[in-house]
Amino acid sequence: MISRRARPGDIVRARRTIHLSLGDRLAGRGVRTGRRGVVIATTGRRAKVTFDARHGGSGWVSTRSVGVARRFAEPVPWIVPVKAALVVFLGAPTLGFVVAYAWENRAFDGLPHAVGVRMGEGALAWGELAARDPGSAAIHLGFLSLVALLMKW
């Protein structure tokens, strides 16, 4: 086991029987030693752990009662600004379309229909690009794949 303090997202293992409620304590039940759970939140020396439903549910426990069994990689520090830039990059044209539509029509009536029409036109334009210039279409598809990968990260 890893001896570091538990953090949200860590998979932990009970070091001893953990009573999650007063009923568990009175009945001698609880999460048995060795059962795994996932840390949902931490505060000071306590962690909210969700254990397998067959073995107890969730509750706040002392971090001394659980040991970190598996820790996932730390988030990469530059990924948040990249995701924010991608949201702006992909969201700005959509926002521009909605503002232009509302300005021209002085209302939002028919906006879903207009969005659907524009999406269809975009799909046809992409198909035309793929037929006319496959190299550019492959670069565009590669860029979209990279965006999808970064947003999933």
**Tens digit of each residue's pLDDT (9 = 90 or more) over 31-70:** 777 788 888 888 878 888 887 756 567 777 777 777 766 6
CB atoms within 10 A of CB 12: 26
| C-alpha 90: how far from chain center | 19
More confident residue, 152 or 49: 49
Q: Please tell me the predicted confidence (pLDDT) of residue 98.
A: 94
| Per-residue model confidence as pLDDT tens digits over 98-141 | 999 999 999 999 999 999 999 999 999 999 999 999 999 999 89
| Per-residue model confidence as pLDDT tens digits over 79-102 | 788 888 888 988 999 999 999 999
Cα–Cα distance, 150 to 83 (Å, whole number): 7
| Per-residue model confidence as pLDDT tens digits over 9-21 | 778 888 877 777 7
Q: Which domains are assigned to the chain?
A: 11-70 (2.30.30.40), 79-152 (no CATH)
| Dihedral (CA of 105, 101, 124, 152) sign | negative
Nearest to 48 by CA among 13, 1, 19, 6: 6
CB atoms within 10 A of CB 106: 7
